[in-house]
Every structure is written in structure tokens, then in C-alpha cells.
Structure 1
């Protein structure tokens, strides 16, 4: 991890902690506001209950007076009118005084409760304003910090982009230098290959000239026929492959290895091949790798009949003349007795 990546991760962690702190403070302020609102609601309910209680105390006295009036007959009213008037007057005065006292007390209590509620509302408002001010301040600080972090992040990213661009430029220069070196090396190798090719062509030309010169002085012994630059002998006596090889060596040659289509066709035509005859190849060491008995190299030319070779390890030697046309090759068991074609330089 690079220094810039570590710095960015550290700043992101600080931002996450700040956000968590602000969320916690906001949750605590919301809980305090809810508690104050609940207290205010409870005080209002207590005040309402006090008013209801005062009303309940006054109602029985009024009901007593009304019932007494309803159940008193006219005669009793007339006789006791003066006494009742006095009692009523006294009762009314007493009730008025009691009611006034209750109303005054209720007014005082209401005023006290109203003042207390107003103070609590004022305190709550002050606290809310304070919290709002603190939150506004925290928000401004947080916003400023985010802006600063954004600038730092942009600066770090710019540095990273510049660093990466520089690294890419260095890599490109190194690649270009390597390409130029490889190109020079390839040009050197090409010049060397061209020189070797020219040398090889000169050697081939010299080889043709030597062969041509030899051909002009070469006389094949009796019983041999010259085909191209070599002498060939067709031995019709049938022998196994090993005996046919030995017989070719006995007459001064070797079992023929055929190296081109032209040589193949001329041998069949000039020697008058009319039956199965051994030639000098075998795949005994590695299946379908036909190796010359003379050179020990894999054949550069083959002329197998369609469907041949076909018998795996059972037929490791090669014949021509299995059937017409005689020029095609077949793989063949080495222990069979067949005619043979000998060759010598």
C-alpha cells in the first residue's frame, strides 16, 4: 500500500468518527427535548386536575341548596322566610367568600404554574437555541474539515496520477530501449543468417559442380546402371532383409535409400522393377520414423502407397513393387524373402 493510500484511509476513518460523534450528540439532544416536553405535558395535566378538583368541591354545596329549595313547601317557606333569608344571606356570603378564596388560590396556583411552565419553556427554548447554535457550529466545522479533506484528497490523487504517469513514462522508455536493442540484435542475426545462407548456397553450388565433374569421369562397374549421379543394381534373388543388406555390401554397395521422386521413378523404370524389392529404410527403433540404414537419418522423402504404412510393429521394413504401379512403397515384415535394390556412389 502506498503512502497516499494510507493517508486517504486515515482521513476517511477520522471523517467516520466525526460523523458518529455528531449523530450521538443529536440523539442525546433529541432525548433531552423529548424529556422536557413530557415534563411540561405532566405539569399541564396536574393543573387541569386541580381545576377539576375545585369544581367538584363547589358542586355539592350548590346541589344542597337546590334540593333544599325543591323539598320545602310553601308554608315552611313563609314561616321560615326570614330565618332562611338570614341563613341564605349568611350562606351566600360564606359561599361567596369561600368561592373567592378558592378562586384567588386557584388564580395564584395557576399563575405560579403558568410562570413555572413559562420558565421551563424559556429554559427549553434557550437550551434548544444553544444546541442549535452548537450544531450549527459543529456543522460548519465539519463542512470546513470536509472541504479541507477534499482538497487534500484531490492533491493526493493528483500526486498519485503524476507518480503513475512518471512510472508509465519510465516503463515506456525502458520498453522502447529494449525494442531498439532487440531490433539491432535481430538485424545482426539477419545479417548473420544471410551470410550463412549465402555460404550454404555457395557450398551447394560447389557440390553440384563436384558431382558433375565426378559424373563425367565415373564409370559404373559391370552389372551396375548409372542413374543420376549413382550406380544401382537390381538383384532378383529373394532374401530376408538382413541377408539382402549383406549381399549389397558383398557386391560393393548398400541397400538403396531413395531421396527424391525423380530418383524413385528412374530406379523403377531403368532397373525394370517388376516385383516386391527391399530398399534401405526401417522404423524398428521408433514407429513411423523411417531411418536410412546408410546415413542413420530420418528419411526426407517417402512414397508410401495410399493406406500405408499399416501394420505397426509387425512390419518394420520397406519394399517397392508390391503392386502396379511399382513405384509406391509398402511397410513389410523384415523376415520375408524378397528381391533387393543396391546402390553405390
Structure 2
């Protein structure tokens, strides 16, 4: 089957919609990216390794809409690692995917200054962010949509 015929059949059968995107289960599509929550507990470093094994990274959150989407997938007791951290320079937070930090949603009184103890950031089920020690907690990964090889 040629790629052209495959694409025609793919679209005719409803195989793609902008809402569904090209995320494969159990990844969830939102605004051009695929998200997955992992309920297994990992340190921040192990979480980053796990996301990269899936060809993604720990999530970077760039606006209130993306924050709201992620929040809608959480329960109030959730705590999940995100990609924000100050592991390189204390007090200077960067995203692990090297994207620019233009949005934050810190919990009141955070980030803390606990003498190099809290280098990694997690999102809580109520939507706020907290810097924390790299203890075991759940994670949320993100990656871009998968496109078929030779996608036009």
C-alpha cells in the first residue's frame, strides 16, 4: 500500500482529528503534545530518565491553559514531578527540556530557600507548584505528536 493510499484511508476512517492528534494510548493529546501520568514513584532524576526513554521529557508548562489541562487530569492528593528545577544554579529555575520559563504557578511562599535542599519542582493536585527534595513521587511526561514516516 502506498503512503498516499494509507493516508486517504486513515483520514476517511476517522483515524485523525485535531482533538485526538497522533498520540498513542495511554498518552493523552492536548495542543500539539502528548502527555502521560505515571503513578509509579520515582526520584526526579529517575523520572527524567523514564520520560526520555519514552522519547519525551518531564513536562514543561508554558501557560495557564496548559496548567488547567494538566490540573484537570489530577486528583487533589496528586503530587507529580515536572521539568522545572534549579539543579544547575540555586534559585535559577530552568525547564529540563531547555524551553524558556515564562509561566509559573508557585504555591504561596515558594520557591523555598532551604539551602540547596529543594532543587526539583512538583505540581500538586490542586494546581500549585512546590520545590521539593528529589524524593520518590509520581511523574508527568510530555512529547510531541508522532507523525507517520514521510508525513507530507
Alignment TM class, shorter chain as reference: 0.7 to 0.9
Considering Cα pairs closer than 8 Å and 6+ residues apart, tell me whether 1 or 2 has the greater RCO: 2
Separation of aligned partners in 2, 1:320 and 1:218: 25
Aligned to 1:280: 83
Aligned to 1:339: 138
Aligned to 1:306: 108
1:228–1:312 CA distance, 2 compared to 1 (3 A): farther
CA-CA distance at 1:271 after TM superposition: 4.9
CA-CA distance at 1:314 after TM superposition: 0.8
Q: 1:249 aligns with which of 52, 62, 71?
A: 52
Corresponding position: 1:315 with 2:115: no
Aligned to 1:150: none
Separation of aligned partners in 2, 1:231 and 1:254: 11
Structure 1 stretches lacking a partner, 5+ long: 1-213
Structure 2 stretches lacking a partner, 5+ long: 1-16, 145-152
CA-CA distance at 1:215 after TM superposition: 4.1
RMSD, aligned α-carbons: 2.0
CA-CA distance at 1:272 after TM superposition: 4.5
1:245–1:273 CA distance, 2 compared to 1 (3 A): farther
Select the structure that is richer in strand.
2
Equivalent pairs, count? 127
Aligned to 1:330: 130
Higher CA-based Rg: 1
Contact kept in structure 2, 1:289 and 1:298, CA below 8 Å = no
Q: 2:38 aligns with which of 235, 239, 244?
A: 235
TM-score, structure 1 normalization: 0.35
Aligned to 2:147: none
- Residues 200-219 of structure 1: matches in 2 within 5 Å? 215=18, 218-219=21-22
Separation of aligned partners in 2, 1:326 and 1:231: 21
CA-CA distance at 1:270 after TM superposition: 3.0
Separation of aligned partners in 2, 1:234 and 1:254: 12
- SS for the counterpart of 1:252 is coil
TM-score, structure 2 normalization: 0.75
Aligned to 1:206: none
Aligned to 2:61: 258
- SS for the counterpart of 1:290 is strand
Separation of aligned partners in 2, 1:265 and 1:307: 21
- SS for the counterpart of 2:89 is coil
Q: 2:72 aligns with which of 269, 277, 284?
A: 269
Contact kept in structure 1, 2:20 and 2:29, CA below 8 Å = no
Contact kept in structure 2, 1:308 and 1:331, CA below 8 Å = yes
- Residues 1-345 of structure 1: matches in 2 within 5 Å? 215=18, 218-272=21-75, 274-295=77-98, 297-310=99-112, 311-321=114-124, 326-334=126-134, 336-345=135-144
Separation of aligned partners in 1, 2:48 and 2:121: 13
